Structure 1
Amino acid sequence: MAFGADSTAAEVVADVDLTGQRAVVTGGGSGIGLATAKALAAAGAQVTVAVRDPAQGRAAGLRWELLDLSDLGSVRAFANRWTGPLHILVNNAGVMRTPEAHTSQGWELQFATNHLGHFALSVALHPALGETDDGGRVVAVTSASHLRAPVDFDDINFEHRTYDPTTAYDQSKTANVLFAVEAARRWAHDGVTVNAVNPGGVRGHLQHHLSDAELSEMDARAASGPGWKSPEQGAATSAYVATAPVLAGESGRYFEDCHEAGLHQPGTAAGVAPYAVDPANAARLWEISAEAVGAG
């Protein structure tokens, strides 16, 4: 069956049997993350949602664990509690256009949460992903917003330029794609695959830092284009990349609307930016990230 922009996560996994598989979905207590987690669970997987808010974890109706991606201690604790194989890791959680803030290690909050936390989590869980029979799958949830900004390697933390919450978010989403590119290269012989997905526009809690004017602008842009997706539609591409048998062994790719997307063409809102799949950028970001989180 062919899937597309209107497909839901439930439709994507309808003919998939995940019995005996284990999955982790970060940010799985609401929105796209919750829809992803429920779809994987409906297909038979044992799903753990990783959340900052215990109330969201309890409300999800699934197994849940505390995880604050901006706190490397919390990330390490989560990984240390995990035992046994891990078949699917969906790096879904994120923050968007937050006021300027930095972690105790000095990293800009959006970059730290959206990229560094997931980088540390993925590296720490890599052995568990490698324990599976067919190799675990990692899904890095990015955004079309990555098209607006590359990672500024000379000033990731806005020490020498005025902080802009939109640019900070955009570069963190580019970092998600670069992670998938380099992880695919490094883990090619481990059977662990890593792919990036753009879920499309979903109106929800992620935008709670935006002003009314910014939200109105986003609503107008959505109305004149593809429109907003429901959380279940936004979760479809994550579910597809996490489970589709046809993607077994495929890694380092970028997907949107349940299809692999090509390079971005000017004048469109689709595709992946060339700088986001550049191998040199990906390798450079990996080295910076490994040093930042103390990964070997």
Structure 2
Amino acid sequence: MTATTPITTPFGADSTAAEVIAGVDLHGRRAVVTGAASGIGIETARALADAGAEVVLAVRDTAAGRRTAEDITATTGNDRLVVAPLDLADLPSISSFTAAWEGPLDILVNNAGVMAMPETRTPRGWEMQFATNHLGHFALATGLHGALADARDARVVSVSSSGHLRSPVVFEDIDFRERRYDPWLAYGQSKTANVLFAVEGAKRWGKDGITVNALMPGGISTNLGRYLSDEEIERARRSQSSDGEAPTLKTPEQGAATSVLLAASPLLDGVTGRYFEDCNEAGLNQPGSRRGVAPFAIDPEAAARLWEVSERRVTE
């Protein structure tokens, strides 16, 4: 995950998805974007479609997915939009999606997520944020591994968050059975898992020509914060800054930029197992800062352990 020379690009916090993909031709390429009917998922799908890709909107709400597809077609002229049902908290739903997939897959953007929700469990008893944000995407990616390998130069994008700084993966009590449930700690460990997935995925899948990278999209006002009060949202925003001032929110188009960069830009050819923010590779987090990647999120031993734990869970 670490490198002697961090990857830098001409883009930054204010760049938009359209800007980072300008000039890129994705005709003949196929992409899957989870959570593509809201927030930065819409703008990620729009940018990939605008570059010519066939884009599958993998969503829980297929009616919203169809409205999004119609809007993207209207704004890009690309009618190669497919809406497919996918519930990341439901393994049978994921299995149905992967079993129905045919042919190579060039781009997989694991974008969907939930944040700081009240204590909720899946029918299997898994804590919902970890189940949705990590385990569902893990099952999806591993279920599509053959299709990704068939593309020969596929990219997997794992949308994490600076929220990962709140907690490592607590392997001894992932599901909060022993400790008191804390919605932010649960969110934090799920977002750490998103980074660890990129670390181990890069190691395991490099031989198949698959790159896997993680990212922090930035602060964006979307329905991801639907479980929070206005006061909690403001408090969370202020926590992102060392001076206590709430940082300026990104637009959804800006928030999608780093995802799109990792998904399609030739600037990232061959780059794998790294963590980006504001369209550039992030350094290690420093005390008192809400930027950068936590050492525990790029620990190769934790990454290997998480992969094994995740495999057991999604196949048991």
**TM-score where L is the length of structure 1:** 0.96
**For residue 205 of structure 1, what is the aligned residue in structure 2?**
223
SS in 1 for 2:206: coil
What secondary structure is seen at the aligned counterpart in 2 of 1:233?
helix
Cα distance in structure 1, aligned partners of 2:60 and 2:223: 14
Are residue 292 (structure 1) and residue 300 (structure 2) matched? Answer: no
Residue 98 of structure 1: CA displacement? 1.2
Equivalent in 180, 184, 205 of residue 198 of structure 2: 180
Question: Structure 1 residue 225: deviation in Å?
Answer: 4.7
Q: Which sections of structure 2, spanning at least 5 residues, go unmatched? A: 1-8, 70-80
**Is the 8 Å Cα contact of residues 234 and 246 (structure 2) preserved in structure 1?**
no
Q: Does 1:16 align with 2:35?
A: no
* DSSP-derived class of the 1:224 partner: coil
**Which of 83, 108, 130 is the equivalent residue of 1:89?**
108
Q: Does residue 1:240 correspond to 2:268, yes or no?
A: no
Report Cα offsets for 1:76-107 as digits up to 9, x if no partner: 10011110010000000001111111112221
1:271 aligns with 2:289: no
1:139-196 alpha-carbon deviations (Å, 9 max, x no partner): 0000000011101111000000111111101100000000000011111211011000
Displacement after TM superposition at 1:221 (Å): 5.2
Cα distance in 1 for residues equivalent to 2:179 and 2:111: 28
Q: Aligned match of 2:208 in 179, 190, 193? A: 190
Instruction: Give the equivalent residue in structure 1 for 2:6.
Output: none
The equivalent of 1:146 in structure 2 is 164
1:52 alignment partner in structure 2: 60
SS for the counterpart of 1:32 is: helix
Moved more, 271-280 or 57-66: 57-66
Provide the rounded CA distance (Å) in 1 between the counterparts of 2:136 and 2:208: 22
Residue of structure 2 equivalent to 1:70: 89
Q: CA deviation at 1:227?
A: 1.3
Report deviation, 1:266.
Answer: 1.3
Counterpart check, 1:99 vs 2:107:
no
Give the match's secondary structure for 1:105: coil
Residues 25 and 51, structure 2, Cα contact 8 Å, conserved in 1: yes
> What does residue range 106-121 of structure 1 map to in structure 2 within 5 Å?
106-121=125-140
Structure 2 distance, partners of 1:262, 1:293, is 32
Counterpart in 2 of 1:157? 175
Inter-partner Cα distance in structure 2 for 1:48 and 1:126: 16
Higher alpha-carbon deviation: 250-259 or 215-224:
215-224
Corresponding letter in the other structure for 1:105: R
CA distance, structure 1, for counterparts of residue 63 and residue 187 of structure 2:
26
| Bigger mean CA deviation after superposition, 259-268 or 171-180 | 259-268
Instruction: Report the TM-score when normalising by structure 2.
Output: 0.90
Q: Secondary structure at the match of 2:212?
A: strand
Report the AA paired with residue 127 of structure 2: E
Give the aligned CA root-mean-square deviation in angstroms. Answer: 1.4
Residues 220 and 184 of structure 1: is their aligned pair in 2 closer, same or farther, counting only changes over 3 Å?
Answer: closer
The total of aligned residue pairs comes to 294
Q: Which residue of 2 aligns with 1:125?
A: 144
Question: What is the distance in 2 between the residues matched to 1:126 and 1:38?
Answer: 24
Identical residues among aligned pairs (%): 60
2:166–2:184 CA contact under 8 A, matched in 1: no
Please list every run of 5 or more consecutive structure 1 residues that lacks an aligned counterpart in the other structure: none
Q: CA shift at 1:55, angstroms? A: 1.8
1:226 Cα offset (Å): 3.4
2:52 is aligned with what amino acid? Answer: G
| Structure 2 residue matching 1:196: 3-state secondary structure | strand
Is residue 219–residue 237 contact of structure 2 (8 Å, CA) maintained in 1?
no
Of 23-32 and 217-226, deviating more is 217-226
Task: State how far apart, in whole Å, the 2-side matches of 1:218 and 1:230 are.
Answer: 17
User: Would the aligned equivalents of 2:238 and 2:247 in 1 still touch at CA under 8 Å?
Assistant: no
